[in-house]
């Protein structure tokens, strides 16, 4: 008899850099829009560290670091929650659900909302 695979709940957050000044907790398809200040504290810290590195490595930004960080903090984030047997399966599922939700958002706003994994 095959063993039952335990499923865990995974939460993933995807920045939507093309959506500014979002309302909080708006459901779009499979995702919920979150503002930066409503993300879990540890996740906010990770995003800030990633953006600092991104700004330092990428010389094409013509604005100040302060402006760049403010723009990043002002974008929307898709929160996707999935049940999966492991992290790899969870990220595949949540990325697909986030892309489907972004398609709905694109239809509603007549814009393009690419999904970023960080």
Helix, strand, coil percentages for the chain (3-state, nearest 5): 45, 25, 30
Q: Considering the domain boundaries, does residue 117 fall inside one?
A: no
Q: Considering the domain boundaries, does residue 116 fall inside one?
A: no
- pLDDT tens digits for 13-55? 999 988 888 888 999 999 999 999 999 999 999 999 999 998 8
Q: Considering the domain boundaries, does residue 64 fall inside one?
A: yes
- pLDDT tens digits for 57-80? 876 667 888 999 999 999 999 999
**Structural domains counted in the chain:** 1
Q: Please state, in angstroms and rounded to a whole number, the distance separating the CA atoms of residues 69 and 112.
A: 22
Q: Considering the domain boundaries, does residue 115 fall inside one?
A: no
Enclosing domain of residue 66: 8-109
């Amino acid at each position: 008899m095959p063993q039952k695979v335990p499923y865990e709940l995974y939460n993933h957050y995807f920045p939507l850099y093309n959506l500014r000044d979002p309302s909080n907790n708006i459901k779009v398809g499979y995702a919920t829009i979150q503002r930066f200040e409503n993300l879990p504290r540890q996740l906010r810290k990770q995003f800030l560290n990633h953006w600092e590195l991104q700004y330092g490595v990428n010389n094409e930004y013509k604005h100040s670091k302060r402006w760049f960080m403010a723009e990043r903090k002002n974008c929307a984030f898709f929160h996707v929650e999935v049940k999966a047997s492991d992290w790899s399966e969870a990220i595949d599922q949540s990325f697909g659900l986030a892309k489907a939700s972004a398609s709905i958002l694109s239809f509603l706003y007549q814009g393009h909302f690419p999904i970023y994994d960080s």
